Chain A
Amino acid sequence: MPNHASNYALAVDIGGTFTDVVLRSGSGQTSGQTWVDKTLTTPESLDIGFFRAVDSALAKAGIEAAAVTDVVVHATTVVTNAVIERKGPLTALLVTDGFRDILTIKDEHRYEMFDPQIEFPEQLVTREMTFGVPERVLASGDVLTPLDTVRAAAIVDDLRAKGVVSVAISFLNSYLNPANERAMRKVLQARAPGMYVSISSDVAPQIREYPRTSTVVMNAYTTPITGPYLDALRDGLRKRGFVHDPLIMLSNGGVIGIDIAKKFPVRMVESGPAAGALAAAYYAEVLGLDRLLSFDMGGTTAKACIIEDRHPLISGNFEVDRIYRFKTGSGLPILIPSVDMIEIGAGGGSIASVSNLGLLKVGPRSAGSTPGPVAYSRGGQDATVTDADLVLGYLSADNFLGGDMKLDLAGAEKQLAKLGESLGTSVRDVAAGIYRVVGESMTAAARAHAVDRGIDYRGVPLFAFGGAGPVHACYVAELLDSPMVIYPPLASVLSAFGTLVTPPRLDLSQGALSRLSALKWDDVDRIVAKLVADASSGLASAGCKPSDIQFQFGADLRYFGQQNEVTAWFDADPRQQHDAARVRAIFEDAYEKLYSLRLPEVDVEIVSWRLVATGPVASRDSKVALQSAAAKPQGKRSARFGANDIETPVYARKDLAEGQTLEGPAIIEERETTIIILPGWRAKVDATGCIMASKE
């Protein structure tokens, strides 16, 4: 029988391994009901997996494409994959003559002091494909040397002859005056109409030539892949009868129309993880919590993100493809607004070892998913966090992935026993030690991340997901003095779900260095007006009415003489106030919050203006089917808590009823993860489907 509900919304999240889909009905009898599916990602042609997921969800719900009258949203790893696997087409870089080696020289920094054997990441454009063009803009923004169009034309002809597909243009001081970059683009478009072009004054108009160049290069490198990919999705959806073109999830925690995404693919880099953070923000709203720490622990890494005032924190820069222990400086920097997330090398696959100081260490080496933990029986020989979790009784050898994968307990014990010998302790004590040490290292990273942003992390509830997150979250919460852990429903497709609760949003910025004492308000008015106009037309393409758009105005500021900026947000449009003292006061409040310091004698300098434009969030209720009768445990197993082995009840999450409470210790199993409720904690099933654990 056909399903007569309507106003469906559809979300697809393509990750490295899986493509997840969530379909939800918005009105009618089944309002708020969801259908989910997980299929394998098809790396050779991502759109195959995309449509496989879409067709499967429609079939499960028994509806036609035309019923999806609400949004179709998409998060994708396409850009990140293209960069990490270096599979972009031949790309060239045009720079100011005399500065051809910018990608090799970078900022000259050796990112790791003590290891003389380090290497730097391979750049996306080679030296041979970088060309100097005679032109120069001064730091005042005045043009010293207009573009030499004759040389420019000759270079374009050379690029064509070499078979270049895409070109990045990054001239010195172009963030102040884009005239020469635009003139160069014009020459390119005239002489080589098929070539893709990205200019740095469009992509990231900010001071500091290396990160700006790195950003525009990544944009140019991925444009030729992303454009046809997004077109194929749009055409495929139209052909199936979908009413709307898809919206694309950006790293800043907003969705945007296809045309902008095609032009600025570099803004999609953290699409999937940003969607996960948005899901956390959604639950903060639904549960009435102002702050959350989202904690996503998977096979190789753990990611944490702070949700403040029910929004994820956003940062202005990011690094892709770090090649040395997630260390800053070992990747490719990009200046894009991005959900501010810390990623550390601690996951289920992290390897435990005893150091030459006799200390138990966990990570940073990881067994990943291949060969994986010893317990996976895929050839892994090193004891990992997952092995410890199994030996502690937290994971079930027989019910992992719903029983689809049998875990080798004896093998895990054997490897852990070896570590026990060097530490002089038992197998289960070693396992408990690994559990504690990995908890401590994740806590330290989360704490440093919060302190770095002037945020008091104590008392902030944790929002736990990812394969290993719910196993470790209670313990991390104890270390962070957090009284509560939230385990969301639909955790296995959380990023896809997150895209459905995301408003359209654009973050724009424009570099404009000036001391506050010498600020020219005419310039400010012009800059802010342009940001507003650009953002408005961008959101219009995502279907927003002008009257529905909200703007937030901000700036990157610092004390004159400093190098690092602090982003401060204003309470009103600066064009209406023209009040430098007010700008200063807002900066100093933000600065004091971060550093507990005010310097009243020092002038303040503005580095960039920022604008966030947000469209409306539709009412997007989400319901999860819950049982009405309280579940009994499926069984019991021995698990280690502190120094004690306790016979612990094991529940299936799908059997739990709304309002049911469970006293810790308890184990709650889902197909993709296991929730460990520690002794002293009590879990309650909320009407939203979240399991809320709180410390008694």
Chain B
Amino acid sequence: MDGIELEIVWSNLISIVSEQAKALQRIAFSPIVREAGDLANALFDRQGRMVAQAVTGTPGHINSLAAAGRHFVDAFPTQTLAPGDVLITNDPWLSAGHFFDITVMLPAFHKDKLIGFFGSTIHHTDIGGYGVGAGARDVHEEGLWIPMLKLYEAGEPNQVLHKMIRANVRTPDHVFGDLAAQVSSGRLACKRLSALLDRQGYEDIDELSEEIISRSEKATRDSIRKLKAGTFHGESSFDVPGGDVITLKTAVTVDTDEGTITIDFDGSSGPSPYGINVVMNYTHAYSTFAIRSCLDPELPNNFGSLAPIKVKAPEGCIVNCKYPAPVNARHVVGMYVPMPILKALYHIMPDRVLAEGSGAVWTIQIQGKNAAGDPFTSSMFNYSGGMGARMTKSGPAATCYPTGVAAVPIEVLEASMPILFTKKELREGSGGAGASVGGDGQVIQWRMRTDSDWLLNAVASRISLAPEGLGGGKPGAAGRFLVNGKNASEARKMVMKPGDEVTLETPGGGGYGAPRA
């Protein structure tokens, strides 16, 4: 296939999955989906290899979905699939690492022949069980486990599964609204693909997929071959709710003969008793993200471009956890996965990396009663610290990395529950000094306008260990989590009194390069 023809068909595939994603994001109930774009959409070939992906949201989802494709194909051989089937799972080990993320796959048929799949993963509003947070003792306490099943069979809803889900989540209307959106956007994508094949005169996407995957793999290997060969080390330590310190160690090996990069997490911390353990899919997702954004952010994301990047971690460690470890708040550790990798890459591409930043976003959920005595449960909302500095640019203040979630506006939160914010400003000077300075964190302060006790579920990290500087840069300030002016950090929900005032001071990013005299 020539480079003109392929460009035209390929860009059409990407626009099909992008439209699918756009529709999903706009109708989602889940605040983290619509505000943060925490969703992923992709086209897979018959073998379950990801061919094209929408440019969306957060790295955790998009690369976890890539891995899920193969698992679905293993579980549902071609002959077991019919037009109108819809597949589903939220198995943490087979998809995106916790129950909230439900992956839906639609087999795509063209002229009665299975030609591929359209998949989507989105973070749902509720999945029963523990709810938001890291306090469950094992994965079963965390909610409803949906194995790989058919949600629809030949267009007909699987009533048993529908009833099971409906009875096991707190917000069935929202969950089914979002599932319906996943299904309808997938159906639209199937139609669009068929129309494209008709227009181009193709019978299937086999040759196209082969061409896309092999070219992407070759381009990735070529980019890697331009790097300096060797094994480079990086290490990052941070504290998590409850006070435990986690260390992630990486050995990043660049093999310029093969054109591969291998990331090995050997020596990293063991499992946590809290729900912050990370499945391999999710670790793989954030590892490949870190490599890709430094190597060449413009390379497409598909099976071919991901193949030359290999990720290893000892089985059972915190970034390759085993059943039945609790995983609900896996982002708390998962979002630090890029940090040691960036530190290793600093040795070979110092102009592309950034210093450590605040890492995981701080997430909050509140339950209580309003003035009329009616109970409420807020959506999960989140705040960022500062980003680490770049070689020639400072780190953006109050902006998260590696994920890209937005904060819900104060006015929206105040309209949805009896909360009153008294402050949201930068923490001046919290960014680390350096030739380039780290981004400042922020101070957020609120109290509840209620007469009853309320529950606070705040997931804060980097309270004792601040983000380090890079290449002689100074560290940023560690975070602070205060209740009525006193330090607090709990992995579990805290019972609060009506007048209590909560203050969050998110960490500042590390500086880059020695500060100028």
Contacts and interface: CB of A to CB of B under 8 A. Distances in A.
Given A356-B219, A599-B177, A361 B412 contact: no
A105 interface: yes
B11 interface: yes
Interface string B209-226: 000000110110011000
A383 to B, nearest CB: 14
B423 A361 contact: no
Interface in A98-138: 98-102, 104-105, 107-111, 113-117, 119-120, 138
B27 A207 contact: no
A562 interface: yes
Interface in A418-450: 423-425, 429, 433, 436-437, 440-441, 444, 447-448
B409 interface: yes
**Which of A105, A119, A433, A562 neighbours the largest number of chain B CB atoms within 10 Å of its CB?**
A105
A115 B299 CA distance: 11
Given A209-B409, A564-B34, A105 B426 contact: yes
Given A139-B415, A207-B411, A433-B4, A561 B12 contact: no
A456 interface: no
Contacts of B352: 116-117
B384 interface: yes
Nearest to A599: B177
B58 interface: yes
A444 B293 contact: no
B174 interface: yes
A360 interface: yes
Nearest to B20: A451
Contact of B414 (A113, A139, A444, A452): A139
Contacts of B423: 98-99
Contacts of B59: 113
A357 B212 CA distance: 9
A207 B406 contact: no
Interface string B421-455: 11111100000000000000010010001000000
A436 B8 contact: yes
Interface in A399-435: 423-425, 429, 433
**Which of B3, B181, B401 neighbours the largest number of chain A CB atoms within 10 Å of its CB?**
B3
A596 interface: yes
A101 B297 contact: no
Given A98-B424, A116-B401, A447 B15 contact: yes
B409 A354 contact: no
A208 B413 CA distance: 10
B405 A109 contact: yes
Contact of B6 (A107, A144, A359): A359
A341 B442 CA distance: 36
Nearest to B407: A108
B279 to A, nearest CB: 21
Contacts of A173: 411, 414
Contacts of A99: 410, 423-425
Given A100-B425, A108-B383, A359-B3, A559 B390 contact: no
A581 interface: no
Contact of A357 (B171, B216, B400): B216
Contact of A360 (B7, B177, B296): B7
A99 B421 CA distance: 10
Contacts of A161: none
A45 interface: no
Interface stretch (B71-79, B147-155, B319-327, B391-399): B391-399
Interface string B3-26: 110111011100100110011001
Contact of A105 (B10, B15, B397): B397
A113 B354 contact: no
B120 to A, nearest CB: 14
A396 to B, nearest CB: 25
Assign chain A's interface to a size class.
35 or more
B426 A101 contact: yes
Given A172-B410, A357-B219, A425 B415 contact: no
B35 interface: yes
Contacts, number: 202
A115 B442 contact: no
Contacts of B218: 357
Contacts of A101: 397-398, 424-426, 442
B22 A448 contact: yes
Given A207-B415, A513-B415, A109 B404 contact: yes
Contact of A601 (B173, B384, B449): B173
A209 B409 CA distance: 7
A105 B22 CA distance: 25
A597 B187 CA distance: 13
A563 interface: yes
Contact of B222 (A356, A360, A448, A559): A356
Contact of A108 (B10, B298, B405): B405
A358 interface: yes
A643 interface: no
A107 B36 CA distance: 10
Nearest to B290: A116
A436 B7 CA distance: 10
B496 to A, nearest CB: 20
Contacts of A357: 215-216, 218-219, 300
A203 to B, nearest CB: 16
A149 to B, nearest CB: 21
A207 B405 contact: no
Contacts of B216: 357
B307 to A, nearest CB: 15
B184 interface: yes
Contact of B292 (A100, A114, A210): A114
Interface in B156-176: 171, 173-174
Nearest to A132: B425
B57 interface: yes
10 contacts: A104-B426, A107-B407, A120-B399, A207-B412, A209-B409, A355-B298, A356-B222, A357-B218, A423-B3, A563-B412
Given A98-B424, A440-B12, 14 more contacts: A98-B423, A101-B424, A105-B407, A110-B399, A144-B420, A207-B415, A356-B299, A357-B219, A358-B6, A423-B4, A452-B22, A563-B31, A595-B27, A597-B27
Closest 6 CB pairs of A and B: A433-B4, A109-B406, A139-B414, A98-B423, A114-B297, A444-B15
Interface of B: 2-4, 6-8, 10-12, 15, 18-19, 22-23, 26-29, 31, 34-36, 55, 57-59, 125, 171, 173-174, 177, 180-181, 184, 188, 215-216, 218-219, 222-223, 289, 292-294, 296-300, 352-354, 383-384, 387, 390, 393, 396-401, 404-412, 414-415, 420-426, 442, 445, 449
